[in-house]
Structure formats: C-alpha cells, structure tokens
Amino acid sequence: MIASIKKIALVGGTHGGELTGIFLIKKFKQYPHLIQRYGFESIAFISNEKAVEVGTRYIDIDLNRAFNCQDLKNPQLINYEQSLAKKIAQRIQQEKIDLVIDLHSTTSNMGLTVILHGDNPDLLKMAGYLTQTNSKVRILQHELNKQSSYLISSAELGVTIEVGAVANGVLDAKLFQETENLVYAILDYLEADKKGQPLPVPPSFTYYSAIGTVDYPRNEQGKIQAMIHPQLQFQDYQPLNPGNPIFITFDGEEIFYQGDETVYPVFINEAAYYEKGTAMCLTKAVRN
C-alpha cells in the first residue's frame, strides 16, 4: 500500500550503458535534498557500479534478470551480477525499502514509460496521475509472477521507468530533464498522499497490458533474417493491425503481422533485446 511507504530507493545503472538514470542518480546523491519529501525517506544508488564504470550493459549476465527468488538463494550462482543481486536484495530487505523506482532508458521510442509489475491499484492510480504531468507518459503493465527476476521484485512495491528513444552511452538533455521531472512528480504524489491531500487522478485513462513478445524471423542457426519494417520503426504504442507490415528481409520482402486483432507494440527494435529473442513486445490497450 502506498500509504504505508516509509522508505524509497531510486536506482540507476542497473544497465551500465543507460546514462539518463545513471546521471540522475549521481545528481540525487550529490544533492539529496532534491528527493526528500514529507512523510517518507528517499535514498539513491547506482546498482551496477562496475558495468557503469566499463560503460557496458553488464559484466557477466543481465542484472535485471538476476533477482529470481530461487536464484538469490542458490549459493552456486556466484558470477558478478549473481553475487551483486544477492547484495542488493539483502540491502533492500535490511534497509526496509518499501518502494524501488528503477530508472532505465531504451533505444525504442517509449517516451516516458512507467512500468507497473502486477496490478497494484494504488500504483496504477499514481501512474494515472503521471499521465497528466507530461503527454509522453505511458503506462505499461506486466504480470508479476514468482519467476520474476527484475531488481524491483526485491521490494514490496516497484516501478520501472523506461525512457527513450536514446542510444546506449548517450545523454539526451531533454529526456534527462523530463525523467527528472517524472521522478519529482512521483515523489510529490506520494508526499501529497502522506499529507492527506491526494493529487487528482483522471477519472479514466489508458494503460497498455503486455500480452507477449515477437522474435525476429531467424534461420536454423538462429541468425536474424529480417529487420523491423521501416513503417514500424519508432511506432511504439501505435496500433498495429492484422496485415500491417512488421518486418522486411534484406532482399526487401515485406512480412506482415498475422495476428487477428489490433495490438500496440512496444520495445520495438530495442538494442539489448536482440540477444533475448525479442523484436518487440505486444500489448493491448486497456481503458481504465
């Protein structure tokens, strides 16, 4: 419950090349008063210092897939990120952090995406409030299950922020400032709640619920055989209808979306997802 939040952690650098969150967290560490609000405590930390230093997404494995409950208890998993995940999870428990806000960036045109894991109604209301603060705010909802291995799953409540499009290793000043303002809007919303003066939530708003992923067409060796279709590039959160072009081969042959209903793709052509076998995630639009 939002009302019972006593301590928040703002986290950046879970992926070492995502500079927006990294430089924001550095700023918050230097000027901690920026994130202090009435009614709860806020701390800020870089989660994967070594990857940040090297300027790479991760050292051994993706840190944001290393927080599975079973994996955290498994003493045989000791590579860099596996060990780091155990330390971070322990810290979140020991410091009694109720809410983690993990700041990411993406090469996809995701605007200011607020990812909710699960269906906590309080967080959904907060996200609804955020859609009024900047027209680029989108709400993406994922199911949270026992296999969840995201960093945010180590706290009771978690929100992942994905901003883009921006390349890895690149700072975009406008996106930096918009992300900063989004963080303040979250803190202000929680503070107003603590003061018993809740900020207005729109009576109705749209969120996008994840329904699956689509991989690139591949050959038997697993090598990709086509690219994101130019008409789909940067069209995150736009409707994709059955029969619309989705991929194009290196010979220029178009491949069309075969589904039987309109979907709203996100994470289209995210650089880090080539290795995960994900060309895009599909969502359905839900009117709340």
- Which of 92, 97, 100, 104 forms a contact with Zn ion (CB under 5 A)? 104
Q: 18 or 98: whose CB is closer to Zn ion?
A: 18
| Stretch of residues binding Zn ion (CB under 5 A), selected from 13-21, 94-102, 217-225, 236-244 | 13-21
Smallest gap, in angstroms, from Cβ of residue 1 to Zn ion? 27
Catalytic residue among 162, 178, 253, 270: 162
What is the rounded distance in angstroms from the CA atom of residue 194 to the CA atom of residue 3?
7
Between 104 and 117, CB nearer to Zn ion = 104
- Residues in Cβ contact with 135 at an 8 Å cutoff, skipping those fewer than 6 apart: none
Tell me whether residue 162 is one of the annotated catalytic residues. yes
| Neighbour tally for 113: CB within 10 Å | 25
| 57 is a site residue for Zn ion (CB under 5 A) | no
Stretch that binds Zn ion, among 17-25, 107-115, 128-136, 173-181 (CB under 5 A): 17-25
Number of residues that bind Zn ion (CB under 5 A): 3
Contact region with Zn ion (CB under 5 A), list: 16-24, 185-193, 194-202, 257-265? 16-24
**Cβ–Cβ < 8 Å for 129, 201:** yes
60, 79 Cβ separation under 8 angstroms: yes
To 5 degrees, how large is the angle CA 190–CA 87–CA 19?
60
User: Cβ closer to Zn ion: 257 or 267?
Assistant: 267
Residue in the shown chain whose Cβ atom is closest to Zn ion: 104
Contact 16, 55 (CB under 8 A): yes
Tell me whether residue 65 is annotated as binding. Answer: yes
Number of helices and strands in the chain (H, E): 6, 12
| Residues forming a β-bridge with 10 | 44, 101
Measured CA to CA, the distance from residue 53 to residue 215 in angstroms comes to: 31
Q: Which is nearer to Zn ion, 18 or 236 (CB)?
A: 18
Piece of the chain touching Zn ion by CB under 5 A; list 18-26, 213-221, 251-259, 260-268: 18-26
18 marked as part of a ligand binding site: yes
For residue 107, the minimal CB distance to Zn ion (Å) is 10
Query: DSSP string of 82-140?
Result: HHHHHHHHHHHHHTT--EEEEEEE-SS--EEEEEEES--HHHHHHHHHHTTT-TTEEEE
* Measured distance CA(113)–CA(20) in Å, rounded: 14
Q: Is 91 annotated as contributing to ligand binding?
A: no
- Whose Cβ is closer to Zn ion: residue 15's or residue 117's? 15
CA 36, CA 32: separation in Å to the nearest integer?
7
Applying the rule CB under 5 A, the residues between 133 and 172 that interact with Zn ion are none
Distance separating alpha carbons of residues 39 and 37, to the nearest angstrom: 6
Q: How far is the CB of 52 from Zn ion (least distance, A)?
A: 12
Q: Is 261 annotated as a binding residue?
A: no
Q: Is 15 in the site for Zn ion (CB under 5 A)?
A: yes
Binding site residues, Zn ion, CB under 5 A: 15, 18, 104
Enzyme catalytic residues: 162
Summarize the annotated binding site for substrate as residue ranges: 57, 64-65, 162, 273
Summarize the annotated binding site for Zn(2+) as residue ranges: 15, 18, 104
Summarize the annotated binding site as residue ranges: 15, 18, 57, 64-65, 104, 162, 273
